[in-house]
Amino acid sequence: MRKIKVAIIGAGQIAQTTHIPAFKSMENVEIVGVSDTYENVAGKVAKDFDIPFSCSSHLELLEKCNPDAVSVCVPNKFHYPIVMDALDRGCHVMCEKPPAISYSQAKEMADKAKSKGLILTYDFHFRHGTNVAILKDLIENGKMGQIYYTKVQWLRKAGVPGWGNFISKDMQGGGPLIDIGAHMLDIALYLLDYKKVSYVSAISSNLIGTKQSNGLMGSWNPEKYTVEDGLFGNIVFEDGTGIGIETTFALNMKEKDVRAVKVYGDELGASLFPLEIYSGSNRNYQAVNYPYISDGDLHNKALENFIDAIEGKEEVLVKAGEGAYIQMIIEALYKSAEKKEPVFL
């Protein structure tokens, strides 16, 4: 059996904890090399995971290893140039989320993948959950009725990431919206089948990250904190329905971490994490709990889906064009918060 040759670009936290172990566990995949700007990091990871080649330049990696596919695990700012280079050299690409730092970049990436006939997908791993699939099925079969409002939240009480570049707007393109809220927004847009957006409005804050210096996920330099610590917005579709989004790295609230996707239809309502379906009327709302369905490791599912798609066994669940769509909405929410006015799309 010919194995699929995969190279890893960026050897930090997500590469070490998810991409490399997942690919290592697949019989039909061979990791042929790894690169990181810091050669010593690439070298150590190659040694730790028994990867035969390491270097500091992704171009050298692509040239010397000639991989069939790459995983792009670098800070957001570098997704676009590295994905474009990999596509230009004929590689299928799994890129970490978010797709890029601007809509124009994400659109160009999707267009290039399409024109080259290559797979480009993103690690929006929550979308691979079985519970998401069940809810999608209920919506498509009309069981929920007409969905008129969806609420998405990823709120962290004191969850500014203390590692990497997550407090740098230049490197990441933003804070909690582009980093964690994007996961919940991705699920909602998928459930609602990428309806056409009319306009968005948002407010954002950066009063806590610029003042405090440590929290539950490590410490940071408040003087270098250039991203929002909270964004609160609305996305209004052309049919008059909408999504409310709330996402924070830091918020003076009771809970440590709140993750939610809540879908309200005129027949049933539902929420994820865990999946519950609500029916009834007036004060008699009743939660219908689905038996707990283990989702397994969703990063593994996303990476398996990528490899299966390369082998022609199935389609990728997260398509490149959908990545461009979410990037368009993220950009519009940031623009609205900055300009303090609605942004029409």
Return residues touching ligand NAD (CB under 6 A). 9-15, 35-38, 41, 58, 73-76, 78, 96-97, 123, 125, 163-164, 179
Mutual orientation of helices 130-140 and 182-191 as an angle, nearest 10°? 30
**Angle, vertex CA 299, rays to CA 297 and CA 300, nearest 5:** 65
Q: For 303, which DSSP code?
A: H
**Are the C-beta atoms of 330 and 105 separated by less than 8 Å?**
no
CA 96 centroid distance within chain: 7
- The CA distance from 224 to 39, in Å, is 26
- For 289, the 3-state DSSP assignment is strand
Provide the minimum distance between the beta carbon of 97 and ligand NAD in the complex, in angstroms, as a whole number.
5
Provide the minimum distance between the beta carbon of 147 and ligand NAD in the complex, in angstroms, as a whole number.
26
- The CA distance from 110 to 273, in Å, is 30
- The CA distance from 269 to 285, in Å, is 10
Q: Which residue is nearest to ligand NAD (CB)?
A: 12
Which residues, 6 or more positions from 340, have their beta carbon under 8 angstroms from its beta carbon? 203
Nearer to ligand NAD, 38 or 285 (CB): 38
Provide the minimum distance between the beta carbon of 226 and ligand NAD in the complex, in angstroms, as a whole number.
16
Nearer to ligand NAD, 95 or 197 (CB): 95
Provide the minimum distance between the beta carbon of 229 and ligand NAD in the complex, in angstroms, as a whole number.
17
Q: Which amino acid is at 108?
A: E
Nearer to ligand NAD, 96 or 228 (CB): 96
Provide the minimum distance between the beta carbon of 290 and ligand NAD in the complex, in angstroms, as a whole number.
24
Nearer to ligand NAD, 125 or 262 (CB): 125
**Terminal alpha carbon distance of the chain:** 48
Q: How many CB atoms lie within 10 A of CB 311?
A: 9
- The CA distance from 306 to 94, in Å, is 7
Nearer to ligand NAD, 226 or 234 (CB): 226
Provide the minimum distance between the beta carbon of 301 and ligand NAD in the complex, in angstroms, as a whole number.
12
Q: Exposure string (b/e) for 103-124, b if CB count within 10 Å is 16 or more?
A: bebbbbbbebbeeeebbbbbbb
Provide the minimum distance between the beta carbon of 343 and ligand NAD in the complex, in angstroms, as a whole number.
24
Nearer to ligand NAD, 171 or 345 (CB): 171
Nearer to ligand NAD, 107 or 128 (CB): 128
Provide the minimum distance between the beta carbon of 83 and ligand NAD in the complex, in angstroms, as a whole number.
11
Nearer to ligand NAD, 44 or 195 (CB): 44
**Are the C-beta atoms of 235 and 245 separated by less than 8 Å?**
yes
